[in-house]
Amino acid sequence: MVKVLTVIASVTATIKSLISGGSPFAGFTALWPTNSDGKYIIQAEGIRMAFTNRNGGAPTNVWINDTNGNEVDIILGLDKVEDYDNYLGYLGGTIGRVAGHISNASFQYDGETYFTSANGNNGTTTYNGGEKGWERMTLDVGSLTSNSITFVVFDRAGGNGFPGNSGSSLAHSLYPYEWRISYGVTPTRTSKPVPINLSHKTYWNLDGFRPGSETIEEHRLHLPFSGLRLEEDEHKIPTGDIKGNKMRSPYDFWSSARLLAAGLARKATYDDLFLVTRPQPWEVESKPVASLSSARSGITVELYTDQEAVRLVTWDGGPNSNLTLKEGQGGKPVQKNAAISMQMMDWPDALNHPEWQRDKHILFGPDRLMTTFSKFKFSVNGRPK
Ligand SMILES: *[C@@H]1O[C@H](CO)[C@@H](O)[C@H](O)[C@H]1NC(C)=O
Ligand SMILES: *[C@@H]1O[C@H](CO)[C@@H](O)[C@H](O)[C@H]1NC(C)=O
Ligand SMILES: *[C@@H]1O[C@H](CO)[C@@H](O)[C@H](O)[C@H]1NC(C)=O
Ligand SMILES: *[C@@H]1O[C@H](CO)[C@@H](O)[C@H](O)[C@H]1NC(C)=O
Ligand SMILES: *[C@@H]1O[C@H](CO)[C@@H](O)[C@H](O)[C@H]1NC(C)=O
């Protein structure tokens, strides 16, 4: 009976939302079961994850068995889903509609100037989609199966200053030892292409932050296609120029897998944009653009993506990063460099750098969908490979 009422309530909510022009999935969200913490659980061989639909549909836990067969939870997140509402940092939810900074909080396109929500760098840039960007939204859940969850977003024209509506489906699926992410965005009510750039910042510590592994300094990182990076100013706005990552410099992760401690000894934290310059064909499914591993847990995570840049960020302990580990991770304050995120993306602020000629990578619609695919593939002591 309760179930029938829930179904009726969700159908009603859907109809109401359709009449008012809202998301057709609004009512469905309540139908999908959560665990007692309000999280959605999905799993496949070797991997189990939990998600919340808050903060852009954030992954809250990734559990993998380490070399000793002990389950470790290897990402930063929050225990209580309600706490996501007050959390103003970025913890893995989808960042959109345009991730990264847009300099001057505006861009010119096809003879028009668009002014976007000025929420970054003290009101001088648009950061991660603006004040009400997707990682500040609670999303609808379109579907949930034992190994997948799909969030849906309806972002209206003018929201945060961007032109055109966009309807999006953000799908996470687990396969044996794999987490696959596919984003699809359909721009609507626009006669022109609109800028779209989605990303997410999931912070990893492959030892599960255990005592002795409070930081990722002993992790090794390999970025085989990243001999170049974008030069950025002190506000992380690209200057337009490209730099070479000299061998054995703190930016050299291309020549071999290198211990993060070596770079961190010379450069307190990382927040840098590495370009992915690989020859065609890309072999998206077989050649990772990033590989992070820890000898202690034996866990390796490889990032596969069709995107042409990876931003590396180590947890910096700055404003908005006042965070404690989850209880299962020991519950202590998160230390500087406790974790690292590897964000796949297109080139930052490309809207304002026509000289890079990247319009086809950042502008989509009305007849061209934006789709992007990436996966994190795990192995423990090299198995499975
Ligand atoms: C870890 O191993 C145990 C025992 O084999 C198993 O029950 C559990 O599902 C594994 N955890 C994951 C995340 O695969
Ligand atoms: C941003 O604004 C500054 C100051 O008004 C101006 O000098 C600069 O050219 C602008 N940059 C872009 C990319 O529009
Ligand atoms: C931010 O902007 C305000 C108002 O323009 C100014 O008073 C303040 O000094 C700025 N802060 C920083 C850190 O630039
Ligand atoms: C950090 O967060 C805790 C718990 O939410 C809070 O009690 C504390 O005041 C915060 N500290 C700072 C410096 O914001
Ligand atoms: C895409 O998003 C990333 C992630 O935040 C960001 O660094 C980059 O500036 C964005 N790219 C464009 C073209 O705006």
pLDDT tens per residue, range 114-150 = 888 888 888 888 888 888 888 888 999 989 999 999 9
Which ligand 1 atom lies nearest to the CA of residue 43? 13
* pLDDT > 60? residue 10: no
Which ligand has the shortest distance to the CA of 64? 1
Which ligand 1 atom lies nearest to the CA of residue 64? 13
* Residue type at position 161: G
Contact assessment for residue 186 and residue 166, using Cβ atoms and an 8 Å cutoff: yes
Listing DSSP states for 288-329 in one string gives -SEEEEETTT-EEEEEEES-SEEEEEE----TT---B--GGG
Q: Does ligand 5 have an atom closer than 6 angstroms to the CB of 95? A: yes
Supply the pLDDT for residue 277: 87
CB neighbour class for 272 (10 Å; exposed up to 12, middle 13-18, buried from 19)? buried
Q: What token pair was written down for 199?
A: 């990303």
Q: How far is the CA of 99 from the centre of ligand 1 (A)?
A: 35
Where b means 16+ CB within 10 Å and e means fewer, 166-182 reads bbbbbbbbbeebbbbbe
Single out the residue of 363, 228, 378 nearest to residue 302, CA to CA: 378
Using CA positions, which residue lies closest to atom 8 of ligand 2? 104
Q: Does ligand 5 have an atom closer than 6 angstroms to the CB of 311? A: yes
Supply the pLDDT for residue 285: 83
Single out the residue of 155, 136, 152, 148 nearest to residue 25, CA to CA: 152
Supply the pLDDT for residue 177: 97
Distance CA 321, CA 354 (A): 34
pLDDT digits (tens, 9 = 90+) for 230-274: 998 887 778 888 999 999 999 999 999 999 999 999 998 999 999
Which residues, judged by CB distance below 6 Å to any ligand atom, belong to the binding site of ligand 2? Answer: 103-104, 352
Supply the pLDDT for residue 60: 98
Judged by DSSP in three states, 179 sits in strand
* pLDDT > 70? residue 34: yes
Which ligand 2 atom lies nearest to the CA of residue 106? 14
Single out the residue of 218, 150, 198 nearest to residue 343, CA to CA: 198
Q: How far is the CA of 74 from the centre of ligand 1 (A)?
A: 15
Q: Does ligand 1 have an atom closer than 6 angstroms to the CB of 71? A: yes
Query: Virtual CA dihedral for 322, 325, 330, 336, nearest 10 degrees?
Result: -60
pTM comes to 0.85
Q: Identify which of 64-68, 187-191, 269-273 has the greatest average pLDDT.
A: 64-68
Q: What is the residue whose two structure tokens read 């990182």?
A: 221
Q: Does ligand 5 have an atom closer than 6 angstroms to the CB of 144? A: no
- In this prediction, residue 2 has a pLDDT band, given cuts at 50, 70 and 90, of very low
Q: How far is the CA of 354 from the centre of ligand 5 (A)?
A: 15
Distance CA 222, CA 226 (A): 9
CA-CA-CA-CA torsion sign (360, 364, 367, 368): positive
Which ligand has the shortest distance to the CA of 174? 1
* Residue type at position 27: G
pLDDT digits (tens, 9 = 90+) for 76-101: 999 999 999 888 888 989 887 787 78
Helices (H), the chain: 2-19, 260-264, 359-362
* Residue type at position 243: K
Which ligand 1 atom lies nearest to the CA of residue 46? 14
Which ligand 1 atom lies nearest to the CA of residue 48? 13
Using CA positions, which residue lies closest to atom 5 of ligand 2? 104
Distance CA 193, CA 195 (A): 7
Which ligand 2 atom lies nearest to the CA of residue 353? 13
Q: Does ligand 1 have an atom closer than 6 angstroms to the CB of 46? A: yes
Using CA positions, which residue lies closest to atom 4 of ligand 2? 104
Q: How far is the CA of 334 from the centre of ligand 4 (A)?
A: 12
Supply the pLDDT for residue 104: 83
* Residue 211: count of CB within 10 angstroms of its CB: 8
Using CA positions, which residue lies closest to atom 4 of ligand 1? 69
C-alpha angle with apex 258: 294 to 59, nearest 5 degrees? 45
Cα 61 from chain centre: 14
Q: CATH number of 32-380: 2.70.98.10, 3.30.70.20, 3.90.1150.10, 3.30.70.1050?
A: 2.70.98.10
Using CA positions, which residue lies closest to atom 8 of ligand 5? 348
Q: Identify which of 111-125, 186-200, 207-221 has the greatest average pLDDT.
A: 207-221
Where b means 16+ CB within 10 Å and e means fewer, 75-95 reads bbbbbebeebeebebbbbbbb
Residue ranges of domains in the chain:
1-29, 32-380
Q: How far is the CA of 11 from the centre of ligand 5 (A)?
A: 37
Mean per-residue pLDDT of the chain: 85
In this prediction, residues 328-356 reach a mean pLDDT of 84
> Tell me, what DSSP letter sits at residue 86?
G
Q: Does ligand 1 have an atom closer than 6 angstroms to the CB of 63? A: yes
